[in-house]
Structure 1
Amino acid sequence: MNFSSLNYQDIKELSVHGRYIRRSQLQSVINRNSIQNKVSQLGNSVRNSPIHKVTLGSGKIKILMWSQMHGNETTTTKAVLDLINYLNKTNELVNQILSSVTLTIVPVLNPDGAVDYTRENANKVDLNRDAIELSQPESRILRVLYNEIKPDYCFNLHDQRTIFNVGSLEKPATLSFLAPAHDIQRNVSASRGQSMKIIVAIHKALSSIIPDQIGRYDDAFNPNCVGDAFQLLGTPTILFEAGHFPDDYQREQTREFIFYSLITAISVIAQRKIEGYSLDTYFDIPENNKRYYDVLILNANLINKKYDHNIGILYKEILNEEIIIFNPFIEATGELKDSFGHKYLDCKDQNDLNFLKSDRKLHKLLF
């Protein structure tokens, strides 16, 4: 697919930017005349916030996707809003998609967690570990919707942390995908095979623009996870994970890549091209590893003898007046062999040392 022909900058939903999405921003988008008659309310969250779906297209193939099951994972929500913008345009690909596919999109499944910028819902429950008990209203809303529309495919949309690299490479896992297992042996059922082939299609398309930055997520079976549960029910399900791109802590570049991934997957389904992709190629996609720190400080013992060799620093995301603040904390010290840094600072280098001393947060943390 030629992504440049999509004119992403003309598609991007400019009213939503950064890591935090305000409820009013989302409401403004779904209240627009262009999609207003395609929006309906599914129910309410723990705190009685509305949960909406957007339905696009009239085709026989049914795709269900949901974002922000974890309230602090906003990148895919931004990409979903971009997708809605694109599908409200008129061109050959859009017409083909909308005539072949009916898309049901839940932009934010966990609105309370979205407001608080937390993984869990208002009852402190991880909705992605509630597939069996269905103890939460948000979990039940998703399951009722699944039972009602009986989707042919499901897209489970998430963010992942900055710690992930691809295989053994010093490359961030900007995108990761998973065809969830449907049993503890991780066998390849018919539905899982379909998921794998769609991921192969995405990997092939996106590798042309982010080579070696696409990973495969761990496939350990957990029936409490929604993706595993839907795969177990026989619905091809794909986990999308939006990860880190260099210097993109606001996840705006990754947002674009997720949009391309969604369009690729939907197009392959709409054009019935899934069988043109090899199942075996799925296992050639490198698995994720956890080797990255946000900042890797080398020779830290030179600034303070209490440190042993190197320091691995990660950022904690803190919500402060609807702005996400990135606060550094020390995750590990030592030789930290085979570790990578999104940013390297070497205490042997005077310029790096001056930076450490001048950066208010790092200085307070280290000195």
Structure 2
Amino acid sequence: MKRNQFSLFLLFLVFIIGCKTANEEKFESLDTPFLESAFERFKEPAITHRRFKQADLQPLIQKHQNSFQITELGKSVEGRSITSLDWGKGSTKVMLWSQMHGNESTATMALFDLFNFLEASGDEFDSLRSLLKTSLSLKFIPMINPDGAEVFQRRNALDIDLNRDAISQISPEAVILKNARDSFEPEFGFNLHDQQVYYNVVNTAKQATISVLAPAYNYETEINEVRGRAMKTIVGMNRLLQELIPGQVGKYDDAFEPRAFGDNIQKWGTSTILIESGGYVGDPEKQYIRKLNFLIILNALHQISTQSYEQHSIDEYFAIPDNDLQLVDLIIKEMQVEVEGKKFPVDIAIRRRESNADSTFYVTGNVEDLGDMQVYFGFEEIDATGLSFKEGKVFEQEFENLAAISSEEAMELLRQGYLGVKIKNGKPGELHQLPILVLQSKKDFNFGWKTGSSPNFFLAEGDLLKYAIVNGYLIDLENPEEQVLKQRVF
């Protein structure tokens, strides 16, 4: 009898140790190289840039029809379908929605990478897939605003910001998102957006490549269990991001917005996580930020499936620094400008705003602010002490077309004081990468140094031209560097 009791005791010990080991493994976070290898293997090759339309996604959605439940949830204002993809059979429901704003597509790209990952099998990722599939039921809505995506604009065809239509639900797209949330009743939700590239981590020159938020559900910004889960999950995501982009994660202000979907979905009982994709130097098409989205979403899904977010503290969430809007493309410091015969040294902050051009874009420079610009950080900065503002000219001779002007000729004209050239045969709006302004329908170009002006001028030392500012781009006339200039014919 005693021997049987001892045997049972040993079996009990083995069981306890086994459970402890399984539990410890369950709460381990995913290895970063493991996640990175998953992205590289399953990145969707059909998406190579961030400007795509609803029609471009349809064949990519249909290729997953054998692994996902695909459902048309409804149609947009202009009649485009809005589709969800469901995967998994677990008890914890998670809903992820992207491109509520039509020109915010970074996370949409990452979702299609994730679809490829989830439906694959027969590799070293199978245990992770099995865990996710048995623990979670996932609903993805990759493009909420297809009409906005069609013209790559923020708002929908009614010119309504869908993220301010959660309560009135004027837009059919808002109704679709609300119905999806109510019928699915997810425990967790991921609200996926893009933000301006000019967001920085507060009081630093570091770009906020990713910003996060667990939105408030009331004006008092209280923390209940629902919001607390979102905060803790964000902490785990941030730990991963700090390995990859140290110091480049910001946190949004959590002031309650009563019309916003994120705030209200939190209020309706879904632990909601906002991910905002900002900018990263050398990544204009946001392909690296796409990778970051894939990694942190997969990281978060693992946290949710294991409940390992519980090991994190809410204090760690509040330790994430705030983001701010202190970045500009170019700061010119101490440039001399003449007014009423007197010279004044001013700092000028310049931003280059994107505008759409089919599947690509061009930029339009603008003087954002001037005076004392010490609160801003520039991607480029130049000390212009001793240099003065000088106007440029238009070259008198017309060129036949864009092809008749080389970059070398354009640079030589800049050195002679010409900021613009004319062409006979061109198309206003046509794109080019010449380091000079090209005129076809206009005889002259706009210029100036005051706020709101087009930054087209020279910096001169006496009569010697040192730098050209062309559409907000800085060009060193003595030592020009190769740049990717996104300009159009005027």
TM-score bin (small chain): over 0.9
Contact 1:45–1:110 (Cα < 8 Å) also in 2? yes
4+ aligned runs moved over 6 Å, structure 1? 302-307, 353-358
1:220 aligns with 2:255: yes
AA in 2 matched with 1:293: V
CA distance in 2, matches of 1:328, 1:38: 46
CA-to-aligned-CA distance 1:37-73 (integer Å, 9 cap, x gap): 5221110000000000111111111001100000011
Shift of 1:25: 2.3
Shift of 1:18: 2.1
Name the structure with the higher helix share. 1
Query: Which consecutive unaligned segments of at least 5 residues does structure 2 have?
Result: 1-29, 391-410, 420-433, 438-445, 448-453, 458-490
Shift of 1:115: 0.6
AA in 1 matched with 2:63: R
Higher relative contact order (CA 8 A, sep 6+): 1
RMSD, aligned CA: 2.5
CA distance in 2, matches of 1:29, 1:117: 19
Show the 5 A alignment for 1:128-139.
128-139=163-174
SS at 1:310's partner residue?
A: strand
Match of 2:192 in 1: 157
Q: 225, 232, 253: which one pairs with 1:197?
A: 232
Match of 2:364 in 1: 327
Match of 1:317 in 2: 354
1:3 aligns with 2:38: no
Match of 1:16 in 2: 47
Name the structure with the higher strand share. 2
Contact 2:53–2:146 (Cα < 8 Å) also in 1? no
Match of 1:366 in 2: 456
CA distance in 1, matches of 2:61, 2:343: 54
Match of 2:88 in 1: 57
CA distance in 2, matches of 1:212, 1:156: 23
SS at 1:309's partner residue?
A: strand
Contact 1:154–1:235 (Cα < 8 Å) also in 2? yes
SS at 2:89's partner residue?
A: coil
Contact 1:293–1:313 (Cα < 8 Å) also in 2? yes
CA-to-aligned-CA distance 1:287-308 (integer Å, 9 cap, x gap): 1111101222334437999985
Judge which range, 327-336 or 210-219, deviates more: 327-336
Residues 325 and 28 (structure 1), Cα distance of their counterparts in 2 relative to 1, 3 Å cut: farther
Match of 1:99 in 2: 134
AA in 1 matched with 2:297: L
CA distance in 2, matches of 1:291, 1:154: 30
Shift of 1:36: 6.9
Contact 2:68–2:87 (Cα < 8 Å) also in 1? no
Contact 1:66–1:109 (Cα < 8 Å) also in 2? yes
Judge which range, 9-18 or 168-177, deviates more: 9-18
Residues 64 and 263 (structure 1), Cα distance of their counterparts in 2 relative to 1, 3 Å cut: same
Contact 1:307–1:334 (Cα < 8 Å) also in 2? no
- Max radius of gyration: which structure? 2
Show the 5 A alignment for 1:103-142.
103-142=138-177
CA-to-aligned-CA distance 1:71-104 (integer Å, 9 cap, x gap): 0111111111111111122221122111111110
CA distance in 2, matches of 1:124, 1:164: 25
Match of 1:46 in 2: 77
Q: What is the TM-score when the length of structure 2 is the normalising length? A: 0.70
Judge which range, 15-24 or 44-53, deviates more: 15-24
AA in 1 matched with 2:240: A
Shift of 1:315: 2.4
SS at 1:332's partner residue?
A: strand
Query: Which consecutive unaligned segments of at least 5 residues does structure 1 have?
Result: none
Residues 268 and 69 (structure 1), Cα distance of their counterparts in 2 relative to 1, 3 Å cut: same
CA distance in 2, matches of 1:77, 1:209: 21
Contact 2:196–2:278 (Cα < 8 Å) also in 1? yes
Identity value in percent? 34
SS at 2:179's partner residue?
A: helix
Match of 2:379 in 1: 342
Contact 1:15–1:25 (Cα < 8 Å) also in 2? no
CA distance in 2, matches of 1:205, 1:274: 13
SS at 2:281's partner residue?
A: coil
Residues 27 and 307 (structure 1), Cα distance of their counterparts in 2 relative to 1, 3 Å cut: farther
Query: Alignment length, in residue pairs?
Result: 365
Show the 5 A alignment for 1:273-284.
273-284=308-319
Shift of 1:19: 2.6
Contact 2:335–2:386 (Cα < 8 Å) also in 1? no
Shift of 1:136: 0.6
